[in-house]
Amino acid sequence: MKRARPIRTIVTTIILTLGVVWLALNLTLGDKQFEERFVRQYDVHDRQFLRTMGVILGPPQVQGNDITALMNGDAIFPAMLQAIRSARHTINFETYIFWSGTVGQHFVDALSERAAAGVNVHVLLDWVGGNLDPGVLEELRAAGVHVRRYNAPHWYNLHFLNHRTHRKLLVVDGAIGFIGGVGIGEKWRGNGDVAGEWRDTHFQVRGPVVGQLQAAFVDNWMFASGEVLYGSRYFPDLEPVGTQLAQVFTSSPGGGRNSMQLMYLLSLTAATRNIRISAAYFVPDDASVQTLLAALKRGVRVQIVVPGEQIDWKFVRRASRALWGDLLEAGAEIYEYQPSMYHVKVLIIDDFLVSTGSTNFDNRSFSINDEANLNVYDQDFALRQIDVFDEDIRRSSRVTLEAWRERPIHDKVLDYLASLASGQL
């Protein structure tokens, strides 16, 4: 009996040690963070900027694309469902959010019908976010849909549990794609202009750059299933259908790449006149703040639209607000969207570069999640997105430096405490 206590102590110590190691592995950012400020060498119109973005970030820009912005669920869901229902060969669908409900069932029905008709349908759901009921998952599989859960926990990958796929990709017949911020759930129904209807933007893509969207999906499908999808049904020869120059690139943790953060920092550094940021979750790290401050110092106008009171994660809003002081003092314009939850993820540099996808302006997207973004280098396209951005500003309330400084002391304390966890937000 005297030996029982030491044994229990040893076992308890081992369990606690393993728990601490597990937490450390899961809460550590995937890649080393940038510590030095980027030196501005060119603007976004310079050929060297395009060359840098293509060489460092991955796939080169390709010409001949037609990209259409879709505003809110009333426009986004019908376009996605129409594309699915028109599929003849393949459907590849990766999403972080896929919830049971009316919207989810529409997609389940469309995907199941196409699979039953002989179309190869692959659905990749994040293990955390893809919260479909077991019966619905069985319905998909019974219809012939190939379903995988991204990074489902096993004994050998528990150290990777914090790393999720946040990508939102749909590719039909390798020829039409969709990318943006929308998940499959009731919150995205409607037009985003009243409480309960999330404001969001998704993009429909045609042309050669769809092959890069498909490659992004195949990369994660291979990780989750061990299966490689290839051949003309997945990667057909895509002729030019428009005039837009574009590229798709991805990021994932642990690879030493930091592609998404690098893209943001390079783009912000190249800005000459305007930086416009639509951010569902805006929790910038020090490198991002310093890059924005440098842009303001050289005369660039910085405008940022974020959620207001209507936000799903109040904690994130507090962490974000704690970091606004230096930006506001330097002249940045920060606006809080009023009608509903603001879930848009768009970066516009000057009147030329538009970047959109699943990426939030925070460390989780920059270093922890798997993300995918579409970059469009086109003046006409950028001007149309600027019009959308300006309309969002008209529906927002500007945050002044005075109001930020004079918020109640308890808000300042809570904001500061929330900001301590910014590395995981």
Per-residue pLDDT tens, the chain, 425 aa: give them. 445 556 666 555 555 544 443 344 455 555 556 666 778 899 999 999 999 999 887 789 999 999 999 999 999 999 999 999 999 999 999 999 999 999 999 999 999 999 999 999 999 999 887 778 889 999 999 999 999 998 776 555 555 566 778 899 999 999 999 999 999 999 999 999 899 899 999 999 999 999 999 999 999 999 899 999 999 999 999 999 999 999 998 888 755 457 888 899 999 999 999 999 999 999 999 999 999 999 999 999 999 999 999 999 899 999 999 999 999 999 999 999 999 999 999 999 999 999 999 999 888 888 888 899 999 999 999 999 999 999 999 999 999 999 999 999 999 889 889 888 876 65
Contact status, residue 148 vs residue 124, Cβ threshold 8 Å:
yes
> Do 93 and 122 touch, CB atoms closer than 8 A?
yes
Per the listing, tokens 């060297």 go with 48
Task: Give the largest Cα separation in the chain, rounded.
Answer: 81
Cα–Cα distances (Å) from 40 to 259, 348, 350, in that order, read: 18, 18, 15
For the record, the structure tokens of 129 come out as: 């976010």
Of 203, 359, 216, give the one whose Cα is nearest residue 277: 359
Residue 374: CA count within 13 A, CB half-sphere: 40
User: What does the alpha-carbon distance between residue 145 and residue 123 come to, in Å, rounded to a whole number?
Assistant: 7
Q: Which pLDDT value is given to residue 25?
A: 43
Q: Report pLDDT digits (tens) over 150-205.
A: 877 655 555 556 677 889 999 999 999 999 999 999 999 999 989 989 999 999 99
Whole-number Cα distances in Å, 38 to 204, 242, 276: 33, 34, 19
3-state secondary structure of 230: coil
Non-local CB neighbours of 387 within 8 Å, separated by 6+ positions: none
Report pLDDT for 151: 75
Angle between helix 259-270 and helix 286-297 axes, rounded to 10 deg: 10
Whose CA is closest to 64, among 173, 210, 169? 210
Cα–Cα dist 377/355, whole Å: 9
pLDDT digits (tens, 9 = 90+) for 62-86: 999 999 999 999 999 999 999 999 9
Residue 214: left if φ>0, alpha if ψ -120 to 50, beta else—which one?
Answer: alpha
